[in-house]
């Protein structure tokens, strides 16, 4: 079209330029985010892992999970922790050794993406025992269903689960 159309609507042109800039900046920020945020920071920013983050702090595992990794974390949501009776959860949070055992049972060394999980029947955890993996109807890790997979962080990946899994 003519110059008149462009110059006749400077506010529209400016608005389109601003929207385009926001979209480009937003996409760049979202794409860069996993490279900058480790597993702990990713869990904190999600807002649905408050109990898990509290437990990680209680157990003294923050620095470990902020470390180089890579780690695969099967992360129970706050709703998953709410399935545990409050008195049992309080007792677990008060017992650092037991808490560490439970939390490290949720962590597999290495970066195991969902495509890799589908090929496994089990995986050895940082705690030392293996979790069972069943992909016959969705993805189950022990008795927990993976509800969201492949949340990448700078030092690994998080798979969101709907229950807290317990070692023997």
Q: Which residues pair with residue 107 across a beta bridge? A: 73
Edge-to-edge strand order for the sheet containing 107-109? 107-109, 71-76, 156-161, 144-153, 140-141, 130-134, 122-124
The pLDDT of residue 29 is above 80: no
**Domain boundaries along the sequence of the chain:** 3-33, 37-161
Q: How large is the average pLDDT for residues 7-36?
A: 38
The pLDDT of residue 9 is above 70: no
Q: 26 or 51, which is more confident?
A: 51
Residue 30, pLDDT score:
40
Q: What does the pLDDT look like over 61-70, one tens digit per residue?
A: 999 999 999 9
pTM of the model: 0.79
Q: How large is the average pLDDT for residues 80-87?
A: 97
Distance in angstroms (rounded) separating the CA atoms of residues 134 and 123 = 11
- Span 37-161 CATH architecture: Roll (2.30)
């Amino acid at each position: 079209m003519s110059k008149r159309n462009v110059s006749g609507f400077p506010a529209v042109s400016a608005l389109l330029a601003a929207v385009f800039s926001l979209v480009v900046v937003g996409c760049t920020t979202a794409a860069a985010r996993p490279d900058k945020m480790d597993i702990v920071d990713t869990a904190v920013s999600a807002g649905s892992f408050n109990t898990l983050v509290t437990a990680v702090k209680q157990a003294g595992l923050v620095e470990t999970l902020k470390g180089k990794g890579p780690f695969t974390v099967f992360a129970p949501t706050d709703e998953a922790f709410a399935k545990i009776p409050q008195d049992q959860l309080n007792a677990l949070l008060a017992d650092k050794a037991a808490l560490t055992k439970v939390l490290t049972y949720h962590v597999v060394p290495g970066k195991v993406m969902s495509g890799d999980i589908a090929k496994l029947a089990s995986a050895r955890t940082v705690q030392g025992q293996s979790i069972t993996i069943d992909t016959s109807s969705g993805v189950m890790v022990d008795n927990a269903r993976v509800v969201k997979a492949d949340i990448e962080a700078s030092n690994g990946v998080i798979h969101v689960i709907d229950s807290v899994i317990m070692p023997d």
